[in-house]
Amino acid sequence: MNDLELKAAARRNRNSWILTAPALLWLTVFFLIPYLIVVVYSFLTPDIYEVKFRLSLTSYLDVVSSAYLRSLFLAFKLAFQTTAICLLIGYPVAYFIARSSEKIKNTLLILIIIPFWTNLIIRIFSWRIFLSYNGVLNDTLMRIGLISSPLEIMRTDLAVILVMVYVYLPYMILPLYSVLEKIDFTLLQAAMDLGANEAKAYFKVTLPLSAEGIFAGSILVFIPALGAYLIPQLVGNQQSLYIGQIITYKIKNIPRNWPLASALSLVLLFLVALLLVLMFTAYKRRKDKLKGLVA
């Protein structure tokens, strides 16, 4: 590189710093620094309204109490169940749309997306109307004589999973669709021409090619599901409290306990980070292996 080129590169580098500075500053002040404050608050002394600025380790001793560990476990269980069911239902749906004719593809996709654009709280509220004790479902089932007394679905763990799947299903379908849509289905035909039966062709060709979508969709469902607050709060019960609810109660409701909420948030953050690192490593290893096979 000559002098002129070096100067131009330096100038471009400086321009990039100038252009990215506002967002960098914003994310530092309102995204990174707040987490430092969470760390600081987790070591303070709780107070029923705010915090006392005196060092304490009580919040970390509290974290390992069985009630909070149970909430953490419940959140992971819920996130896992939601992801698994979304994948099980979402895959055939995405596959169906991807293999539909070009003309109707977009319409089918929009059908999936419209509920996703509808306000979250309204979607949850509509399930309350549908599922409640004297709601539409029970009313209809009783009218046609399928049941004699109303089913109690609202305020159960089943209702929570049902609404979670309802809300997060599009997050699974869309990334799955976008990879399935790109798959060259002549490969599948080729595999079958070479003697693979349909099931074998599917497991050897289509499924590995859609791994990226499965991965993306699972992250998009699992991570927000871990922090679920609104859905368990509106359709769940007080016997199964999820970690998102505990954190919110400790921040908002009196008696508050901000150090505990901070410590629980940090534990959740740590587990999410650990999970992401594990998933990405596994994914990369798989991809490298595939590359190795091709080469």
Partner 1 sequence: MKLNLSPAKLYKSLNLTIFTAVIVFLYIPILILVIFSFNDAKIITSWKGFTFKYYQLLLQNTDIKYAFQNTILIAVLSTLLSTVLGVLTALGLENKAFKGRKGIQLLIYIPLVIPDILMGVSLALLFNFVRINTGMFTVLIAHITFCISYTIIVIQSRLEGFDHSLVEAAMDLGAKPAQVFWKVKFPLMMPGIVAAALLAFTLSIDDFIITFFTSGRGFDTLPIYVEGTIRRGAITTINSLSTLMITFTLFLVVVSKRIRKIIL
Residues within window 245-264 making contact with partner 1, judged by CB under 8 A: 247-248, 251-252, 258, 261-262
Sign of CA dihedral 126, 131, 134, 140: positive
Of the candidate residues 70, 105, 128, 204, the single one contacting partner 1 (CB under 8 A): 128
DSSP 243-265: HHHHHHHHHHSSSP-HHHHHHHH
Of the candidate residues 61, 121, 207, 274, the single one contacting partner 1 (CB under 8 A): 121
Backbone angles phi, psi at 146, to 5 degrees: -75, -30
Q: Please tell me whether residue 119 binds partner 1 under the rule CB under 8 A.
A: yes
How many helices and strands in the chain, by DSSP H and E?
Answer: 15, 2
Q: Which stretch binds partner 1 (CB under 8 A): 56-64, 153-161, 176-184, 229-237?
A: 229-237
What whole-number distance in Å separates Cα of residue 288 and Cα of residue 53?
50
Q: Which two tokens stand for residue 14?
A: 């400086």
Nearer Cβ to partner 1 (64/104): 104
Of the candidate residues 19, 64, 190, 207, the single one contacting partner 1 (CB under 8 A): 19
Quote the least distance from Cβ 292 to partner 1, whole Å: 26
Site for partner 1 in 32-51 (CB under 8 A): 32-35, 37-38, 40-41, 50
Find out whether 29 and 40 touch, Cβ atoms under 8 Å. no
Q: Which stretch binds partner 1 (CB under 8 A): 54-62, 63-71, 119-127, 283-291?
A: 119-127
Of the candidate residues 13, 65, 107, 281, the single one contacting partner 1 (CB under 8 A): 13
Q: Which stretch binds partner 1 (CB under 8 A): 58-66, 126-134, 151-159, 205-213?
A: 126-134
Of the candidate residues 164, 169, 180, 205, the single one contacting partner 1 (CB under 8 A): 169
Q: How many residues bind partner 1 (CB under 8 A)?
A: 82
Please name the residue that has the structure tokens 């590169």. Answer: 9
Of the candidate residues 1, 4, 22, 239, the single one contacting partner 1 (CB under 8 A): 22
Of the candidate residues 115, 156, 158, 206, the single one contacting partner 1 (CB under 8 A): 115
Site for partner 1 in 185-204 (CB under 8 A): 197-199
Q: Which two tokens stand for residue 190?
A: 């080729």
What whole-number distance in Å separates Cα of residue 239 and Cα of residue 241?
6
Q: Please tell me whether residue 207 binds partner 1 under the rule CB under 8 A.
A: no
What whole-number distance in Å separates Cα of residue 163 and Cα of residue 257?
29
Nearer Cβ to partner 1 (5/294): 5
Quote the least distance from Cβ 287 to partner 1, whole Å: 18
Cα Rg of the chain, angstroms = 25
Q: Please tell me whether residue 123 binds partner 1 under the rule CB under 8 A.
A: yes
Of the candidate residues 16, 65, 107, 281, the single one contacting partner 1 (CB under 8 A): 16
What whole-number distance in Å separates Cα of residue 215 and Cα of residue 279?
8
Q: Is 134 helix (H, G, I), strand (E, B) or coil?
A: coil
Who's near 238: CB < 8 A, 6+ residues apart? Answer: none
What whole-number distance in Å separates Cα of residue 71 and Cα of residue 41?
21
Quote the least distance from Cβ 289 to partner 1, whole Å: 24
Q: Which of 19, 24, 22, 59 is nearest to 38 (CA)?
A: 59
Eight-class DSSP state of 147: -
Nearer Cβ to partner 1 (111/147): 111
